[in-house]
Structure 1
Amino acid sequence: MNLEERTNQIFVELVNNPQIASKALCEKFDLTRGQLNYALKKINDSLVDEKLSEIKRTKNGHFLIANEILSNFKGGDEQLGEPTESYVFSGKERAAIIELMLLSKEEYLSLNHFIDELKVSRNTVLRDLKEVDQELQQHELALKYTRQKGYFIQGDEWNKRNLLSDLLNNLAVMYNGINVIIQFANIDPQQIETFRKRVELVEEELEVQFTDERLRTLPLLIILMIRRAQKGKLISYSFKVNYRELADTKEYLAADRVIWDVDGLSENERVYVTMLLLTTNLSRGDILSVKEINKMKEALEKVIANFERIAGVNLEEKEKLLERLLVHMRPAYYRIKYHLNLQTRFYQENKDANLFSLFYLVKEASGPLETYFGQSVPDAELFFISLFIGSHIVESTEIVHPENRKRAIIVCPNGISIAALLENTLKNLLPEIDFVLSMSAREFYRTDYDVDFIFSAVPLKTEKKVFVVNNFLSDQEKRQLRERVLRSTAIIQTEIVTPEKILAVVKKHAQVVDETSLYEELLSLFTPKESIILEKKRPHLIDLLKDETIQIFEDKVSWSEVLDALARPLERQQVITTDYIKALKKEMPILPAYTVLRHKIALPHTVAEAGAIGVGISLGLVKKGIITEDGRKIHTVILLGSNDKEEHLDLIFEMMSLAGADELAQLENAATKEEIREALIQFNDEYWRAK
């Protein structure tokens, strides 16, 4: 149909939204009633020329549009590759098409190209090019011409891609708009169909639904951006991550299916396409800039400070920890910002009780990160922050390694989060070895590393000793790997004792009633625990809470009175000095929310320098409750004094578990110290059975 631009827009609106009323149509296009009548007459004249029924209007302002019109013209039903010759473009539409040709061009474009393609005069094209230049200036771009290059758009690639996205959206709503794009951008309809199916698979995989408009233009946008990237038209802004660092999200895996067979895309371009698939509009503000990194660094510094305050510890080499967290948080920034779902298989399968106690402390300290992102931080992300903090605590308390210790690196191509978990597993499994680096296979082949061993999730071509391991090791696989490593290296020379050998000796000299149970218990003794900090070698709750360190407060008492009462037995045991409780009262004149574990157990404590000269705890059951600064009522208060950071954290982990255990309700309902001890004994049995 041959309609001028505004009349064509009105017609497209009527076809795509036949229920629209006259009043709404006038408001949308800023029309008077007379202007609408005129436009409707022009539309009906064109419909008659096409031998189609006219559009009629009812007395109440609604439109009656025949099905033959809808089936012939509705944009969503147009056939790909349908010719567009019968349509006469307006000046603005021609300008948009010229911009599209310039951004998608595969050949030299001259004035004659535009004249031939648009089928208009030389003077018309010259006027259109002036319009194009004005439009480009609004995007901080410029139209240029040289004899060598012909016409081209000069400016930042990011701006060009944003313009391309806008052009596709605007052209798509024209009559037969998709085919206009196909024709003038020279896109193969079969290629569009291929990418459309891939985008639909992303919808299915992620259980999301793109709008119909988005689904129509997204394959076109991806095709043209790939075309530009493969011709060296690259974005200059860095996402501060590589493609591998997003590999731990199901969104990445789904998006990768769209571009899996595309050659010549840099990592930065792949990140761009992945982000494009997951956002409606990608702007520069979505990039992790240096400014954003500094803001995130400030938030992480506050999280570390909160953790120290809640846990009552002073972490050593905080700058080193902060730098590690910043490296980890770069891909996490995109995961959190765009709600990318970190795969939780490894997170769930590594539910070590100690690490998860540490996780809850980190969660309590994570407020500054939530403020920075403007949303809650997923538990899986906090879990990995806990992993980094826990590993840092272990490293800062280790004895200096002898010079003759063996050194190893870890090669894992499955994303840095999985690599971090594998590194943690191997460090605990093989404490005799120093694991100095973790990297991808590509990074491994770039440099010759001076190490004794390599632990890799994939086979490697190297002369060095390589142990190929699974990303997730079962208990039996851990035991077998440890035996294999120790047997094939010079770390130990003595013959390795195994559960099988012990069982054989026992059967030789004694009658075994239940061989299966005996083997399983022996196996458990030889299976290293996936533990960052805690081992059953120091006193714990049940060891420290005796009659003298348990008190029941039946009457209403103040926070200060509870602290004084709980401090007295610890002072008698020479665990703390009077200065300790003075410092504590000054630090927390009321019960602060940050020292309450899981909103259940108040844990007042402070740094050892305030007057802790030993390790001990004192428990108070406050029947009428103590009110926290945020209005919660707490019944269980445990005063902690410690001059041993490791043991101190062990106790906090155990109390964190108690705060989430069923036995806490039993403890808080107790009427005597004996009943409190019974609840603690029951909790202790459950706690260590889980280890």
Structure 2
Amino acid sequence: MLNQRAAKVLQLILSSQRITIKQLEDKLNCTRRQVNYDIERINDWLESNNLETIVNIRGQGLVASNQIRNKVYELLPKVNFFSYIPSHNDRLKIIFIQLFIKKEYISVNHLTDLIKMSRNTVLNYVHQLKNNLEEKDIKLIYNRQEGYNLEGGEFEIRALALKEISYLLQLSNGMQLLEEIYDAEKGENEFQTNYQSMIQMMNEIERELEVTFVDEQLNELTLFFQFLFVRIETEKQKLFPDDVKNTIKNLDTFKVCKNFISHFPLRQIIHEDEIVYMTMHLLGLNTNHLEQLFTTDDSSDLYQIVDQIILDFEKLACITFPDKKPVKKSLFLHLKPAYYRLMFKIPITNPHVEKIKQEYFDLFILVKKSLYELEKLLNCSISDEEIGYITLHFGAFLKNQGISFRRRRCIIICPNGVSTSYMLKKQMEHLIPEVEVVKVLSPREYERLSDFEFDFILSTVPIKTKKSLIIVSPILTALDKAKIIKEFEFLVYNKQTQTIETNELMSKIRQFATIHDESALYQVVNELLTGAAVKDVRRYKPVLNQLLTEEMIQISNRIDSWQQAIQIAAEPLIQHDYIEERYVEAMITNIKNIGPYIVLAPKVAIPHARPEDGVRQVGMSLLKIDYATSFSEEDEDKDVNLIFVIAAVDNETHLKALSQLTELLEDEEAVEQIIEASSTKEILPFINEYSK
């Protein structure tokens, strides 16, 4: 019979399509040895019951066959198979929410009781949380008088609290976790008492406003308000300038909210700024689409932009809605609360976003591109969570009106062979995802092509055609990428991208300056202008092998200190002018202050600092050390063979490459083979494999 821990390991494996040993370590807070021992025990038990065993497949993780999935639950009737184990990530969120509502002194001992882990483990969690929060411009500080505290912009802290509460609420025992956090601060049974009062108040606000909020979002916001009221018991803050406050105070939602707060048990702690803040959140709640709610000022910016969104979508998807009126009505009703959420930077949780992106990939990227005018109006990017919900709306429109859609279609013509053609195809798909590359042909194959529908041609050689033609190099340069983007904008929207020409700018420079090396200056100006054109469309995100090229990889036999290892690892980035020397100093200072948080996996460290610490362009380098360098004398798990230095220019551009690197590092066999490699040429195939 399996013991409880082994049964939990088996349950986690069966509840996932794929899961790695490293993920099991994090979820169970166990060592690799313990997880491997449990898997051996599970396989022995499966064999004793004449079942297949669980196998670890490279690139996939632990896989259980259908035979195991169908039979195993019958064999374990006495084990509480569905008990929930908070993961490593869950515990970080629990600690943050506890700090969000703290009124009294909080020490490591308090957090130890909260998450039921050892003191050293809690300290590691605190260090990691501190590092995570710094990326969001929030500080986790400690002093002897007050213990642990959160410092930073109040809106940023609250936005993260709402996001973390929403996340925990999606877990199987999320309400129980939130109740434990709340009662730990307020006292036993306080959660349920106050929760019922909050639910009653929110229902009364619904009735007074004559709206019906979407249940899931209403529940998330109710719980957030409940935790927020604990936070504001201790201090009052001026949150808004008077002009913003006066605008919100004129809305019916504010007046209704203020009326109910005046009868609420905690009314004395909820001052006017907080009622304005609550009103903003209520404006950001989606409502079930009732006919009487469709009221709008036809001249409003949002109402006009809905027309533009529909028009852009039609152009991108090569379709026309025969009846735009219901499309506009439904889209406006969804976008109105989304507009307020984006305006007031209120986060939204969409637990289905990854599934939407997988199952409706084409539709998702077309909708994302169609929302450009809304992003421009609000001067902010729209999250994938918001785009996911809007994608479902467009999917419903298309289904209801019986319309099929497609992306713009492109064929690639290249005489240089399969490898070059494939590389060009992958570059094109990353540069403009709303274009589908439907064929890759040689010039002779194109001559024989007939009766095939496509919109334009990307070619490395001149050809005769009546279709739109873009001629590029086999390996796309920055100039090629800018050219493709401009041509695509013209093809879809019949408009030219406004750009400054290199010769025009050079002419202006000559009027006011003496040029000592005209050829070199021309090249630099050209690269800046074409690079800016690519960056301006905010599409280009390099993949792993575009950053981790051969010249960015080094191999060393032994390095005495972790400080020296980081300096050596960063040398290629300095030599190629990706970073400044001070970026290296910032990485080392971070580790000295926070600890070896950068050791994110066994034998692997990923040091980094903030963009403003000296990053000139996005980049990545790798140092492979034959004999591991220690990042902590007290912890053998901090011995490192692979150091990946990340240089990020913003919060987005490097994410594609970083996600591919993460997948590579989850492949334990690949990591071991990279460590055993004796040359950079032996490492490159692994980089290329995970860059697809």
Q: Normalization by structure 1: what TM-score?
A: 0.33
Larger Rg: 1 or 2? Answer: 1
